[in-house]
Structure 1
């Protein structure tokens, strides 16, 4: 197994990705390799500074970097030797089994769509994130930003993505899938939710348990919460603030600690033909390590193949 890691992506690149790669290397098993994509000279220098043998990694040298503020589509086209563009070229060719980056998230989504492309039958790939539960376990929120505007049938597909992801990567048996809405009743919500509800109820592709309100997000009511990317992104950013606020207020609490993004590594882009994970722009070494390990889990569980089977 070869996992491609963008060394130039993120606010603290290349140092954080290099340190994260070292930590990931130490956590991986025999036959699982991290391929470092980016400026080789800078990477090797950082490895030596940290007393790590550079020979333990493979390298693909690149000369360009896609900045966090660049236009995703233009950057992918105009910078073919950027670490993100090269990573997706390798993923398409099969020289790596998964690709991850804490760089420009828009470029990662565009790169995935242009290179490995959406799985046949998938209308729109989606991005997932973790929603911690107040008690034990965690929930999956999908979509969290890939699709600001959605059609009802997209939400049905998001339910499939989330259910399979929860079942195979997080070992949640028969995951309960809920539609994020403003009330429990079947007829509640905007036009999107009103149209999506009966489709999700009748799909038979997952264990649909009805509507979930905002207050249900951190409860044991469901395992997968489905929404459009606009709403999901607002919910995600709001949830992320809990950890930041708890740190600033010097509150030590196990539940708030679960909102630390470092634990989860990154957000998978589900619905494309290979494992792709996008990390937070402020990812540190711990987050990078967990992003690589999430890629490993997606490859090991053959999640992409299972999603393909669901859309045949």
Structure 2
């Protein structure tokens, strides 16, 4: 197994990515290799500064970096030797089994769709985030920003993608899939939710349990919460603020500690033909490590193959 890590992506790269790569390398098993993509000399110097051997890694040298504020499509096209572009080319060519970056999110989405492409039958890939539950365990929320506007059929597909992720990577048996709405009744919601509900109810590809409201997100009412990317991103950003607020207020609570993005690493892009994980721009070494480990879990569970099987005509 070879996992590609963009060493130049993120607000604190390459120092944070090097430290994260070291932490991940200590956890990976024999036969699981990290491929470090970026300025090789800078990376080697940082490894040496931290008294860590470069022998356990593979290096792919690149000369360009896609900045966090650059236009995604233009950057991917105009910077073919950027760490993100090279990583996706290697993924497309089968030289990597997975690829992850804390760099430009838009460029990661564009790169995934241009290189490894969407799985046949999947209308739109989705990004996910982890939702901690009050009584322990976790849930999955999708989409959280890849698709601001969605059609009902796309939300149904998100239910399939989220259910398979929950079952395979997080070992949740027969995961319960819910539609995020403004009321529990079947007829509630905007036009999108009203049209989506009967389609999800009729689906035999996942265990649909109906509508849930925002107040139910951290309960045990469901395991997978489906919504459009606009709604999901608003929820995600608000949830991320909970952890920051507790730190600023000097509060210590195990539940709110689980809102720390570092624990989960990044957001997988579900529905493309290879495992791809996008990290937070402010990713710390701990987050980088967990991005790599999520890639490993996606490869080991053959998640992409399960998606392909689910969307066969």
Which bracket does the TM-score occupy, shorter chain normalised?
A: over 0.9
Cα separation, 1, equivalents of 2:82 and 2:136: 41
Q: 1:186 maps to what in 2?
A: 186
Q: Aligned-pair distance for 1:98?
A: 0.0
Q: 2:100 maps to what in 1?
A: 100
Q: 1:35 maps to what in 2?
A: 35
Q: Aligned-pair distance for 1:56?
A: 1.2
What are the superposed Cα offsets for residues 234-277 of structure 1, whole Å, 9 maximum, x if unpaired? 00000000000000000000000000000000000000000000
Cα separation, 1, equivalents of 2:136 and 2:231: 25
Structure 1 counterpart SS, 2:222: coil
What are the superposed Cα offsets for residues 181-213 of structure 1, whole Å, 9 maximum, x if unpaired? 000000000000000000000011000000010
Cα separation, 1, equivalents of 2:155 and 2:171: 22
Q: 2:133 maps to what in 1?
A: 133
For this pair of structures, how many residues does the alignment match?
Answer: 312
Q: Aligned-pair distance for 1:108?
A: 0.1
Q: Aligned-pair distance for 1:66?
A: 0.1
Structure 2 counterpart SS, 1:183: coil
Q: 2:221 maps to what in 1?
A: 221
Q: Aligned-pair distance for 1:99?
A: 0.1
Q: Aligned-pair distance for 1:136?
A: 1.1
Structure 2 counterpart SS, 1:160: helix
Cα separation, 2, equivalents of 1:96 and 1:230: 32
Q: Aligned-pair distance for 1:55?
A: 1.4
Q: 1:76 maps to what in 2?
A: 76
Which segments of 5 or more consecutive residues in structure 1 lack a partner in the other structure? Answer: none
Q: 1:172 maps to what in 2?
A: 172
Q: Does 1:150 align with 2:171?
A: no
Normalising by structure 2, we get a TM-score of 0.99
Q: 2:309 maps to what in 1?
A: 309
What are the superposed Cα offsets for residues 282-304 of structure 1, whole Å, 9 maximum, x if unpaired? 00100000000000000000000
Normalising by structure 1, we get a TM-score of 1.00
Cα separation, 2, equivalents of 1:57 and 1:47: 11
Cα separation, 2, equivalents of 1:147 and 1:212: 20
Q: Aligned-pair distance for 1:174?
A: 0.1
Cα separation, 2, equivalents of 1:279 and 1:46: 21
What are the superposed Cα offsets for residues 12-42 of structure 1, whole Å, 9 maximum, x if unpaired? 0000001000000000000001000000000
- 4+ residue segments displaced more than 3 Å: none
